[in-house]
Amino acid sequence: MSTFKFLHAADLHLDSPLMGLRDRDGDLGERIGRASKAAFSNLITLAIDEQCKFVVLAGDIFDGDIRNFQSGLQFAKQMRRLQEAEIPVFIALGNHDAENKFMARLDLGDNVHLFASRKPETIRLDDIAVALHGQSFPKRDVTDNIARDYPAPLAGCLNIGVLHTACTGRAEHHAPYAPCSLEQLVNHGYGYWALGHVHRHQILNANPWVIYPGNLQGRSAKETGPKGAVLVEVQDGMVRSAEHRTLDVVRWEVLDVDVTEVSEAQDVSEALRATLEAATLPHDRLVALRLRLVGECNIHNELIARADALAEDIEATLATRSGDIWLEKLLIETTRPAAPSTIDPSIAGKLTAAISELRTLPWFDQLVEQRLAEIRAKMPASVRPEQLIEELRAGAGARAAAVALSLISQTPEAPDEAA
């Protein structure tokens, strides 16, 4: 009976910063800065500990043109660890790798094979009866269905397709590169498709196996939950199991705190404690927590006006809890109770009506864009501010209106002239 294991990973993005946390100072900043590389080191350790016969990397090793050449050297170092353990590595470069100018300069060792980019190629491992088929991206924007040109399966072998692709209907929020259908892959005749490009672990099919391992390390609050790779066990030429192994160092989580019943801003901490008690957060790694205050409440304006102070209070609350939890961001997504259909004839009422129209005025959008341009100009050149700028743009109107309304509500009424 012949049994062996191999490891399938993808979307390492080794030189990619963790959005929203990369600029933190001190120990937190250092831990975040090395998170992707630490997760990759965990991957290599897993392959060695499990005595894997080979490792498959299905694209996007880097995030593009390496910003820090040390990332490339770190990758080469980890490849040498596998070489010393006599574990070969098979890599199909993805859309981000195609932008990389340094890949060709790296000495990756004799155990590393990069699949050709001109057309699919096949590598045979005769000692374990495995045939690996793969193709690297020749450029970033590959819009052709390259899977159609993958070779027919070799008889007597476990055939593995290594493909960086946006499989139809499974790649939401990802660019439609190298598109293909699940039906096409299932009918191709391979026993295992090692996919990459989608950052969420998905088993699309189990006979034959078609799997996205997801990325090794979540990079933002859009990539929550456990991240890692797939450990595959093969017995007598058939895949018997495909187990997702968690390897991430920083875990992203998003929690909604319902403050519908909260009448005072200082009572938000109690609602937070109740939410945390009900949540299941890991205690064995750093948790980057994004909190969203939701619900319809009368203190909506006050919450927005006091957002910074509220975030400090929440950080203090988190510091008292067990586990390593950091507040990545606080979002105020509450709403005000529906206003009466008639306009209050008082001065405050008229001001409230005017403020509600604020976001519809052309000059307001112009002012927002002017301020965003100033913010963008002050950010370091190495930072990709698009996500931050878009969040500021989307929330500018609501925040401005809420702050103005809060000021009105806190202004004492003028004395009655007749008094």
Say whether pLDDT at 207 is over 60.
yes
Residue 209 burial (CB < 10 Å; 0-12/13-18/19+)? Answer: buried
pLDDT at position 85 is: 97
Say whether pLDDT at 414 is over 70.
no
pLDDT band at 203 (very low <50, low <70, confident <90, very high): very high
Q: What is the pTM of this model?
A: 0.78
Q: Which residues contact 247 (CB under 8 A, 6 or more apart)?
A: 39, 42, 43, 46, 216, 217, 227, 228, 229
Say whether pLDDT at 172 is over 80.
no
pLDDT at position 240 is: 96
Q: C-alpha 55: how far from its chain's center?
A: 23
Beta bridge partners of 204: none
Edge-to-edge, what's the strand order for the sheet holding 89-91?
Answer: 112-114, 89-91, 54-57, 3-9, 228-235, 238-246
Say whether pLDDT at 318 is over 90.
no
pLDDT at position 177 is: 87
Class for domain 3-246, per CATH?
A: alpha beta
Q: Is 344 helix (H, G, I), strand (E, B) or coil?
A: coil
* Mean pLDDT (the chain, rounded): 83
Q: Where in the chain is the domain with CATH 3.60.21.10?
A: 3-246
- What confidence tens digit (pLDDT) does each residue in 254-276 have? 999 999 988 887 788 888 888 88
- What confidence tens digit (pLDDT) does each residue in 327-358 have? 989 999 999 887 655 555 566 566 666 666 66
- What confidence tens digit (pLDDT) does each residue in 102-117 have? 666 677 889 999 999 8
- CA-closest candidate to residue 302, choices 260, 336, 329: 336
